[in-house]
Amino acid sequence: MQIQYLEIVTKDVDAVCAAYGAANGVQFGKPDAGLGNARTATLENGGLVGVRAPLRETEEPVVRPYWLVKDIEAAVAAIVKAGGKVAVPPLEIPGHGIFAIYLQGGNDHGLWQL
C-alpha cells in the first residue's frame, strides 16, 4: 500500500504548512487550483501532501489519505462490497490523476489512480 496524496483540510493553512515544513525539512509550494488551492510538498515516495482550507462553510477539518491503486473503478467496487460508502465517485483532475472519496469506519478515505 502506498499513499499517493495526503490531504489535510484546516482553517489555518499557513500555520500547518510552517509546522510540517519545520518538523520535516520540506517546503510547501504555492496554492494549486487543481487540488482545491492546496499548498503541496513532495513525499519521499513521490506522492504529495496537500494542505488546504475548507472549500465550503460546512466542510470540517480532516486528514484524508488517498491510496494509490492501479484500477480505481475496481477499487471502488471492492470498497462498496466491503461496506464503504462512496462520497465522491471517480473524478479526473487534469495533470494529477483520478481520485475518489469513500466513507468507512467513521473516517474519510481516498483512492488515487495515476
Q: 24-49, pLDDT tens digit by residue?
A: 999 999 999 999 999 999 998 899 99
pLDDT at residue number 82: 98
Say how far residue 106 (Cα) sits from the centre of its chain: 17
pLDDT at residue number 93: 96
pLDDT at residue number 45: 87
For domain 3-113, is the CATH number 3.10.180.10? yes
pTM of the entire structure? 0.93
pLDDT at residue number 97: 97
Query: Cell 500555520 identifies what position?
Result: 15
Q: 42-75, pLDDT tens digit by residue?
A: 998 899 999 999 999 999 999 999 999 999 999 9
pLDDT at residue number 13: 98
| Neighbouring residues of 109: CB distance < 8 A, sequence distance ≥ 6 | 64, 65, 66, 67, 79, 84, 101, 102, 103
Q: Distance between CA 57 and CA 54 in Å, rounded?
A: 7
Please say if the pLDDT value at position 91 is more than 90. yes
